[in-house]
Amino acid sequence: PLVAYYLVNLARVYRAHGDYEDAMPLLQRATAIREAKLEADDPIIAQSLGALGALLTAMGRYEEAIPPLKRAISLLTTAYGADHPQDTPPLKSLGTVYFRLGRYNEAGELYERCRATNSRTFGADNMRVGFDNIGLGDVHLAMQRLERARQCYARASEIFLARYGPRHVNNAYAHTGLGKVAAAHGDHHEAVRQFEISLALVESALGADHPRVANTLEPLAASLNALGRDSEAAAALERTDRIRGR
C-alpha cells in the first residue's frame, strides 16, 4: 500500500533528525496497514518491521527491538533465501542489538553472515563490507581479541580509503577502532594519533557539537590521561559533557 510506503519514508526522516517519538507512531501505523492489506508472509511487511526494530535500537529499547527484527528476518529469508542481500539490514540491526546487550557471540555471527553475503553480492571492496568489518572489529575488541579487531578495522580503512579518499567521515570509524586497539595494547601515543585523525574528520563533516565528536573525545581523553597529559584530558572530557548536555 502506497500510504505505508510514504509513512516509512517520513519516519526515516524523523529518525535522521533524532525525532524518535514522532517516527514511532508512523512506523507502527505503516506496519498495521501492511499486515491488514497483505498476506502474512509478504516480505514487504519486513520493511516496516525492520525500520521499527532499527528505531527501537536507536532509542536504546533493545529487548523490544528483537521481536520485529527477528520477524523481518524470517519473512525475508522465507521469501529470498538465507544469503540474499535483502536480509542484511535487519540482520545487522539485530547484531547491533545483541552487541549492546553484551551478547557478543551472537552479534559476531550475524555480522559475519552480513559480511559474507555482501562480499559475495557486491564484492569484497564494497562499502557495505567495510561497515561489516567495523561491526566485527567492535565485537572482537569487546571480547579482547585485539589482533582480530585490528585486522577488521584495518580492512575497513582500506575499503573506505579506496572508495572515498582520506578525508571522508566514514574513515573515522576505522581510525577510532584502531585507536581503541592501540589503547588496549597500552600504546597510547598511537591511540591519540588515531583518535585525533578521527576527531578532525568528524568535526569537519558533522560539526564541532555532533554526538559522534563526543564519542571520539571520550577515548581520546582516556589515552591523554594515560600519557599524563591531564589538562588536555580534562578539557576533552569537559567538552564531551557539554556536547552531551550534562
Task: Please give the pLDDT value at position 20.
Answer: 94
Which stretches of the chain are assigned E, i.e. beta strand?
none
Whether pLDDT at 227 is above 90: yes
Instruction: In whole angstroms, give the CA distance from residue 171 to residue 168.
Output: 6
**Cα-Cα-Cα-Cα dihedral sign, residues 81, 83, 88, 91:** positive
8 Å CB contact between 57 and 82: no
Task: Please give the pLDDT value at position 65.
Answer: 98
**Cα-Cα-Cα-Cα dihedral sign, residues 19, 25, 26, 30:** positive
Helix (H) or strand (E) run with residue 193 in it: helix 188-206
Cα–Cα–Cα angle for 175, 176, 178, rounded to 5 degrees: 65
Predicted TM-score (pTM) of the model is 0.91
Whether pLDDT at 184 is above 70: yes
Task: Please give the pLDDT value at position 18.
Answer: 86
- Please give the grid coordinates belonging to residue 6: 510514504
Residue 78 CB coordination number (10 Å): 12
Instruction: In whole angstroms, give the CA distance from residue 38 to residue 120.
Output: 31
8 Å CB contact between 73 and 49: no
Whether pLDDT at 1 is above 80: no
Type of residue numbered 46 = A
Whether pLDDT at 98 is above 80: yes
Whether pLDDT at 11 is above 80: yes
What average pLDDT does this structure show over 141-156?
A: 98
8 Å CB contact between 61 and 83: no
* pLDDT interval class at 7 (50, 70, 90): very high
Task: Please give the pLDDT value at position 137.
Answer: 98
**What pLDDT, in 10s, does the model give residues 33-45?**
999 999 999 999 9
- 3-state DSSP assignment of residue 207: coil
What radius of gyration, in Å, describes the C-alpha atoms of the chain? 19
**What pLDDT, in 10s, does the model give residues 206-224?**
999 999 999 999 999 999 9
* pLDDT interval class at 16 (50, 70, 90): confident
* pLDDT interval class at 57 (50, 70, 90): very high
Whether pLDDT at 159 is above 70: yes
Task: Please give the pLDDT value at position 246.
Answer: 63
